[in-house]
Structure 1
Amino acid sequence: MKLDLQRLKLARHLKGLSLEETAEIAQMNVHALWRIENGHSQLKVQTFLKLMDVLEQPFTFFVKENQFLEPIGNKIDELKKILQFESLVQEPRYQVLLRALENLEK
């Protein structure tokens, strides 16, 4: 599943946050956030989850539109594995995300 990293910048602007404010709230380096937004750096799952929370946008906001043309069941399983690896699968906010993704599959 591919993410549209340009939508990170869009979500930030929709929230009315500067690059610096977003980086501060997300507790990350401004330059690192700039590199992610501009596609010059790999976005780690933990960082993406933090940004998704700060920007108050659902996971689906960041997914490239054509990605939902194919079944997402395997991707949900992949996300669960990642969340389990990061010991985040039981956190309520990620449970909501997983339920939303499972509903998309139906």
Structure 2
Amino acid sequence: MRLFDLDYSKLRALKMLRRSGGMSRVELADTLRLNKATVTALTADLLRRNLIIEAAPQATGRGRPRARLSINPDAASAISIYPLAGERVSVDILNLQGERLFSRILAFSG
């Protein structure tokens, strides 16, 4: 699965869910200024791809309980390699939430 296969609206939704820590579809639609049907369709695809997870709905008052959507941190990883002074590099592996899973400073001779 490649993140760059996603369209712009899905990437915006992922970014918003990551930054916010999670929200309902209604909140996501309001924040992204998209209609609810569009958000329902794009979140269905993100759920199918296992990029987001859905918590059990919780009642917040009147009406249908809203399910909270959030990033699935284990859905993907990224590698960061950053050059440091003195022929060293910092190598980090991050999950989709941006949490560091691995970090090491390595020396090399170039």
TM-score by length of 2: 0.27
Give the alignment's TM-score, normalised by structure 1: 0.28
Q: Which has the higher helix share?
A: 1
Q: Which has the higher contact order (CA 8 A, sep 6+)?
A: 1
Max radius of gyration: which structure? 2
User: Which has the larger share of strand?
Assistant: 2
